[in-house]
Structure 1
Amino acid sequence: MSDDWWKKMRKEIPGCGKFKDKGLQNEDELKIMFEDLRNTGDDHFCASSGVIPQSPNGGSNGGDEEAESDDDSEPEEITPSGKGKGKRPSGDDKDKGKRVKTSGGKWIEDQISKIVSLNERSTASVESMARREDNSGCSIKEVMAIVKECGAIPGTKQHFIASELFTKRAEREMFMTLDTPEDRFAWLTMKHFVKYGPV
């Protein structure tokens, strides 16, 4: 980006200047760490998607017209505070008589409650996984030994993809469902092809 753009951004976002020349650190590790995450938009709003999230009752929360039609309660009316005679009116007078809806606050409160609930369940799930011992024969060490037995020795693309995939338990379990060494070797070859293309 241009120097003028960076000057503007430094004013708007203090501390962002460190990214001008440096860029993102540990990019390769972050790719591995977050490679399986997908933004489906089902449980959150991504501003860059341009899609306004739906409220629990099916309506959009982006426009006043739709929000007003969802709520039968009477909106609050804003009245200006008392002004003395001879004083110049402030910009607040232009809002005189406008009606403001407060129902959006309830939707936000509901969404925050859902997020808190999901967070609590995720935390409990992660803690239980951390406590659980891996006695199923699917430890990384055991599976990598089977990888070598099927012909994927260190230095091959099959061994490399196995070392990337098998940090995740689900991938190890899938690999272990295959019956023969040939099937396992072919599966690793296909996984490498899907991720990196023909080499």
Structure 2
Amino acid sequence: MPLCKKFRFAPLDNEEDVEIMFSGASCTNANAVASGAREGSAGNGNGNVVHPSPAEKQPVKRGAAYKSPKKGKKNFRDMQFKRFVDSFVEKASSSSATSSPTDHVRQEIAEMLQSLIEAGACEGSDEHFYATQLLIKKEFRDVFVTLKTPEGKLAWLKRTWEERKKR
């Protein structure tokens, strides 16, 4: 539907407000000039202007097929707050209280430390401590994961730790 038809046939959004604004307004031609009208043309025929009675001043209300319900006016802050609450509720409903979010980095470090233990570095040993310090950084994890043999992993770990201590 073209835009002009949408407004042409739709009911007014704020009909009650418009009605309040213009309820006392009426045109009597007493103080207004209309095109083609001459002074004294409206009235009783002798040039005097006739003022309408109060009953005639009341505007005629037009009938409407549809009266829009009072819509709550929403400002930007209200819309943003609603959006925030909706996203919070959605996030809360998607994860239950018993399930924790998956931390991929934590899992990756745990797998690397497990492979280090399998390589012979006991928990609490110097090598295990070095690994916990080095594997925090992604660049060290990337190198560690490429090493194939357990001996190579332990040797790399010791050398890297010694290099870091020198700096």
TM-score range (shorter-chain normalised) is 0.3 to 0.5
Name the TM-score, length of structure 2 as normaliser.
0.34
Which structure's CA Rg is the greater one? 2
